[in-house]
Amino acid sequence: MSSNTTNIGTASGTVDPRLQAIGVEETGGNPDAPGRPISSVIGKIVLWIVLVLFAGAFLYPFLWLLAASLKPRGEVFDNRLIPNTFNPINYVQAFDKLPLLNWMGNSLLIAILAAGLVTLSSSIVAFGFAYFKFPGRNLLFGLILATMMMPGAVTLIPTYLIWNHLGFVGTNVPLWAANLFGSAFYIFLQRQFFLGLPRELFEAARMDGASYWGLFWRIAAPLAVPSFIIVFIFEFQASWNNLQAPLIYLNFGSIENFTVPLGISYAMTAFSPGNGGQGDYQWVMVAALVVTLPMLILFAFGQRFFIEGIATQGRKG
């Protein structure tokens, strides 16, 4: 009986069931040998080190901004991540010196209107190109994509003249109303999503008497929610960070009508010693940190749909 116990690892090279039952992997007759190669452990350690380094590189600017917002005026640019002197009163003073709530409210309104309108208008056009078959469809779609190759500076002056003729210069209308006509990139993105939906669903709905609008609103739109969220997040971020358009259409009148990027640009100039300021850039750092919160919140709520939409697009090629 003792000989049987000693020879649990058989000479034939097969793993004894009794060893498998206790979770021991037989490696050359030595139960104490590690079952995982050393190279794979080293590879995982290297991978984690690389990930930590990249994460640190991306987080450093945010941590620097957070630290600078808590420093007094003379220490803002000392590059310390842990301030020598904590000055949390900067947050109270920043809201007293700058109309941050007005700027954030203006930017939020414009971003929601711009993102919502471009999501709806682009999806309608994209569904038309994906579902309907008509002569010249590919040519027309190609022309839409060709507009993406045109630099924005080419249409900058004509667009301004149009809005000026309509009497909207000085208002926030030019910052969102153009999205009523869709976007070439978003049309392309959503068309690819709609092409992945089974056409049989729409044909069956048509046989049941559904209208073309019903095909889009009741069938295509609910299935395309991830793509809608992708477009909404992209456009919301683009509108929230847009400086050029507010600089052209809003850069006069009361500063309370400014958007977040234009307001921060104004604060940088107003507090500059070259323009009579005292160099109170700690308040600018507070403003820059506070205005990042809506984007973080938006991505936190839309992250699941965002990743799902990107993954779905990847599977469709």
pLDDT for 110 equals 96
Question: How long a stretch of residues is the chain?
Answer: 317
* Torsion sign across C-alpha atoms 46, 47, 48, 52: positive
pLDDT for 301 equals 81
Q: Is residue 46 part of a domain?
A: no
DSSP lists the bridge partners of residue 30 as 27
pLDDT for 272 equals 86
Phi, psi of 30, deg, nearest 5: -115, 100
The total number of structural domains that make up the chain: 1
Q: Is residue 234 part of a domain?
A: yes
DSSP lists the bridge partners of residue 27 as 30
Q: Is residue 200 part of a domain?
A: yes
Cα separation, 73 vs 66, in Å, equals 14
pLDDT for 7 equals 47
Q: Is residue 14 part of a domain?
A: no
Q: Is residue 63 part of a domain?
A: no
Q: Is residue 272 part of a domain?
A: yes
Spatial CA neighbour of 193 closest among 246, 233, 230, 154: 230
pLDDT for 310 equals 58
Phi, psi of 85, deg, nearest 5: -125, 115
Domain residues for the domain of 269 are: 94-316
* Torsion sign across C-alpha atoms 180, 156, 148, 231: negative
Residue that is written with structure tokens 């358009």 in the block = 245
* Torsion sign across C-alpha atoms 191, 193, 196, 202: negative
> Has this prediction a pTM greater than 0.85?
no
Task: CATH number of the domain at 290, please.
Answer: 1.10.3720.10
pLDDT for 304 equals 74
Q: Are 93 and 103 in contact (CB under 8 A)?
A: no
Q: Is residue 274 part of a domain?
A: yes
pLDDT tens-place string over residues 180-220: 999 999 999 999 999 989 989 899 999 999 999 999 999 99
Q: Are 186 and 119 in contact (CB under 8 A)?
A: yes
pLDDT for 153 equals 86
Q: Is residue 293 part of a domain?
A: yes
Q: pLDDT 10s digit of each residue in the chain, 317 long?
A: 444 444 444 444 455 554 444 444 444 444 444 556 787 888 889 999 999 999 999 999 999 999 999 999 888 888 888 888 888 999 999 999 999 999 999 999 999 999 999 999 999 999 999 999 999 999 999 999 999 988 888 889 999 999 999 999 989 999 999 999 999 999 999 999 999 899 898 999 999 999 999 999 999 999 988 889 889 999 999 999 999 999 999 987 788 999 999 999 999 998 888 777 788 899 999 999 999 888 888 888 877 776 665 555 545 54
DSSP letter at 85?
S
**Nearest-5° Cα angle at 76, 95 to 281:** 40
